[in-house]
Structures are given as structure tokens and as C-alpha cells.
Structure 1
């Protein structure tokens, strides 16, 4: 199993200690570093900055929001970063949710899976550079025809820059069964945010549904990457360790999206915590965020994160290694990263 670190998206400013953790990760031989975006910092610029100071880390977006850029603009950023990093870039995409897509980007959210299909197809056309990019889709049309608002002067184009890798990896963030299957069908990997090893068979089933329709032009399913974000809190006291992560889960369950349209909450529902989610969401939406965090069950934290002393983490890592997860993206400070990597190396689970 490989290990990466995820810096997430910024809050009021750049994440404290992120650069030190990334440089340490590069020295430790960790596989990758991943960034994200919501409606503040973007996902690409930090990778360019940190990537210029590292030599070995793969540089991934987890995630770049599709509504933030046209598919061709995203492909341009991907091929540019791939050249600058010497082939270390990984493009992680996600649909986000209607609150951000319609509220921040002013784009319609309807039929996100169908939109994703067209988006990924356009990005792949740019990266292959086999012919000018064309598509006549429901959501995207290249070149834009007059009947859809064009001048009639557009013509099919292909990138002036020759992409470094025509098969640059594209991963998809997905939480629902159909979207997870879509990742397995059209992408090179899946970026889960709430993965529980005890439900590994369920997740493998969703992936199998997509692999059944996978194009032979793509890499075989055996090379498919599952890069799961896994928060880490190291402490001799398990409850104290879990307390540090409860606010993060409460935010996703209670504050990310509207009451009836929160895909993160739906993902936690799938883990069997619907009753707890009801309470967390009600408290959070009522402005009682501290109480919402306290309502997060310790069992839920332990399902999706690594919490407690090093000995407990050592006992739990083998079930992650036996799961469909191929890369653990550690959401942790430098000390916690060193602890997990050290334990994994001792157990013989660290792939370099």
C-alpha cells in the first residue's frame, strides 16, 4: 500500500505547517501530496508551488471542481503541471454539490454523472492529442455551433503543447454507488472520503459494476487506484484522539450542503449511522456546532480514520491493506505522518 498526504483546502489562509509536512514527506519517500478546493483557495496553484520544492512526490488534486473550469482549461492546467513536474501530476476531479456549483460558479448542477462523462472524455481527447477536440454533447459542444449561441467561426483545435503523457491519470471523487461505478468505468482511480474497511465488500461491489463496462482502451482494472482520504489523530487516549476529528465529521455531515441534499451525509448513512447523522445535522444547522461534534460516535470516527496510540494504529493498518484501498491519503500533521509511515514500514506494508 502507498501513502500520501492531503492538505485539503484552505480555511482563512494557507494551512499552517503544510510546507514542512510536504518537504518531510518527500524525504520520507511518501508517494504523493494532494490538494483540494471549495470556494477559496484553488487546487492547482499550491501544487505548482510545493511541487517546485520537491523531487519525488506525485502531485494530485483531490479535488479540482469540474464546474470551476471548462474541460479544456482543466486539461491545459493538467498538461502544464505534468510537464513542469516531470510527469508527477495526477488529475483528481469532482462534481462538488449544488450549493457550490450553483451558488459559487453559477452553473447548473443537473445530471452530474452525465456531465462528468462528457467532461472526462474532453480532457482525454486533449491529452491524447490525436485529433482536434470535438464533441456534440448535452452539456458541452466543441466547436460551439450557431444554434447554441456561437458565431459560427469556431473551429476544432488541439493543444499546441504536446502533452508529456497521453495517459495522465484521471481520478474521480465519488460517494454514491452510481458515481463510484462511473469512476471504475471511465477513470483511472477513485477518491473516496469516507471509506470504512469493514464495508470493503460493498465498495468492491460498486467498483465491479463499473469495471463491467470499462473500455479496453483504459488501463486494466488491476491497475485502478483507490486513493482514500484517512484522517489521523495519534494519542494514548482514544477518546481524546477522536475528539480532534469529530468537528471535521460534523462539518461534512451537518454543514456541507442543504438538509435534503448533502452527499457527504448520504455517504455516512451508507456506513450505518443514519440516526447519528440526523442528530448531528439537526444540531449543526441549528448553529450548535460544538454539540454536533460531540454527537459524532467514536465508532464512526474509528471506521473512517486512524485514532489512538501507535499500537492501535498498527493493529488496524492490516485491514486497510487488505481492502480495495491502494493509497492512503493521510490527513495529518508531520508527526502523525511519521508515526503511521513508521508503523507501516515495521509491518512491511509500505510500498515505496
Structure 2
């Protein structure tokens, strides 16, 4: 398994790559762009695997996703992957102003059409006619040429995980994922989708891991991991995950605290069991023990040790990223 982290900036990334970090990922939100950040990662790394984990799939056309990857591929051939996620329905509707009904079917077409642009040979006509997308293009001017870049899908619940297995090259797991959710829900669904499409080989697994390590202030690190978990669980998309673990009571309390704008109460609603199942946090020694216990709770191929971001300043997130380098020798091997 490769160790990685969300892009921490060039200075920390240089330290991380020197220490043995093998992957970096970028993402989208209102204050950062997945592809602009990916360009920084291309310029600031030498060997590491780099890609979007994730770019909002419906905020851009398939053409825009493919063009960004084609452009960056010239600078980092063989090192890129493209991770796409649907985002929440209300974000697509209220932030982007784009349709997002039937997200699994829509993103499956997006993957197909992105691949069509990435696989286009020079002078080859690109045609696609689907339920949500229609393209009829012959690009004569530039030399395109087929490029192979893995396309992964962020998948939380069973339906999207099945779509990832059927359509994409792999899956990107959420920071909330537990061993039970990986093993009983996500992996069987991905395998089912792959079997339906007779896909050869095991789909790639990447995933985020909420990680807050601080030997000087472990209590603060643990509290910030709790707040991050609580913030994620305010989203109703994750209700099947909550029900799967029997965490309805804590979820109701943290959601009430979120409505009251009380982040301390949100963190207090996250039980010790939830923290143990989801996060890696505390001192370096404690985090190593947690990793050893959670071998089957980690993605098989690439794990991103992701510092908490909810109400955590950038400087402390960078400190958490540096501290996670102390866990490199504790990473379990996967086959």
C-alpha cells in the first residue's frame, strides 16, 4: 500500500516524498480547485502518484476533465489518475446550478465520455450519444493520441460502489470508512459491478483516513478528529452507514449540535467507539497501534492520511501532515 496525503503544499510535499510518501491527491471546494492544485503537485513532485480525489464530476463537462488531464499528462506521464465524485445533490443544484438527478447513471456516462476524449487518436472522430451527454466532434488541429490514465470514482454507498466497479478503474473511499463498511458493503458492491461488466483484475482501492497525530497536544488532535467525524456525519447521504453501525443516537445529537452551531457539542457526541473505528489520532505511538489493529480498514492500494479540516487552520493541518510521516514504518502491507 502506498502512503499519501492530500496535497500539503510544495514544502511539506518535498519532505513527504523524500521520507517515502508515494501519492498525493487534490480536491475541489469553494476555496480550492482540484486541477489548479494538481498542477502545483505536478510541478512539486518527482516520483509520486498524483491525481484528483476528488474533482466534482458535474461541475465541469467531460471535455473539461479530459483536457485538464491531457494537459498535465505532458508534464507527469504515467503518474496521474483522475478521481471523480458526484458531490451532494444540493451542492450540484444550489452551488453549481447543474442537473444531478440519477447520479450513478450520470457519472457512468461521464466516465465513458472522459475516456473517449483521453483515448482519441489524432483526427479520430469522437462520438457519444447517451442519456445525459451527446458529443459529435472531430478535432483536426492538435495531435491528440491515446493516453491511459486510471479513472476512479468516489463511492460511499452500495449503488455508487457498484457503479465504480462496473464503469471505472477503481474506487476512492471516504474518510469515514470503517473495516465493516469496506468489507461488508463497499468491496462486495465494487466486485459485483466488476463482475457484471466482466472487468479483468481487481479494481483499484484508494481512500482517505482521518489522521491527527500530535505528540505535544494529543488531546487537541483527538478533539479535532472527533469534530471532523461529526461534521461529515451531518450529511444525510451517510445515513445507511450510520444505521449499519447502530450510531443513530450519536448522529442525532451531533446534528442537533450542528444546527445550534456548537462544534464542541458536535465533537462530544462522537463516541469512543466511533473514533476508534474511523480515525487515527493521538500520539505517534497510539496512532501506530491503531494502524496495526486496522489493517483491514484501510484501502488496499493507496491511503491518504488526511488531517482534519473542519475548523482547523492551515498551519496546523500542515503540522498534522508532517507528523503523519512518523507512521510510515507502521503501514501494513496489502496484497
Q: TM-score, normalised by structure 1?
A: 0.82
Distance 2:266 2:201 in 1: 43
Q: Contact 2:10–2:44 (CA<8 Å) still a contact in 1?
A: no
Distance change in 2, residues 1:136/1:247 (3 Å):
same
Structure 2 residue 161 is matched with structure 1 residue 180: yes
Distance change in 2, residues 1:169/1:64 (3 Å):
same
User: What's 1:171 paired with?
Assistant: 152
Distance change in 2, residues 1:220/1:166 (3 Å):
farther
User: What's 1:251 paired with?
Assistant: 231
Distance change in 2, residues 1:318/1:69 (3 Å):
same
Distance 2:233 2:298 in 1: 24
Q: Contact 1:142–1:156 (CA<8 Å) still a contact in 2?
A: no
Q: Contact 1:65–1:96 (CA<8 Å) still a contact in 2?
A: yes
Q: Give the deviation of 1:20 after TM superposition.
A: 2.5
Structure 2 residue 310 is matched with structure 1 residue 330: no
Alignment partner of 2:276: what SS? helix
Structure 2 residue 171 is matched with structure 1 residue 196: no
CA displacement, residues 308-328 of structure 1 (integer Å, 9 cap, x when unaligned): 233332223234434561211
User: What's 2:93 paired with?
Assistant: 102
Alignment partner of 1:68: what SS? coil
Q: Which runs of 5+ in 2 are unaligned?
A: 308-316
Alignment partner of 1:133: what SS? strand
CA displacement, residues 63-114 of structure 1 (integer Å, 9 cap, x when unaligned): 1111111101111111111112233221010000122101111111210011
Q: Contact 2:212–2:222 (CA<8 Å) still a contact in 1?
A: yes
Distance change in 2, residues 1:212/1:39 (3 Å):
same
User: What's 1:3 paired with?
Assistant: 3
Distance change in 2, residues 1:252/1:182 (3 Å):
same
Q: Which runs of 5+ in 1 are unaligned?
A: 8-16, 144-154, 257-261
Matches within 5 A, 1:185-334: 185-193=166-174, 194-202=176-184, 203-216=186-199, 220-221=201-202, 224-235=203-214, 240-254=220-234, 256=235, 262-323=236-297, 325-326=299-300, 327-332=302-307, 333=317
Q: Contact 2:211–2:320 (CA<8 Å) still a contact in 1?
A: yes
Q: Give the deviation of 1:335 after TM superposition.
A: 5.3
Q: TM-score, normalised by structure 2?
A: 0.85
Distance 2:326 2:183 in 1: 28
Alignment partner of 1:162: what SS? coil
Distance 1:38 1:350 in 2: 32
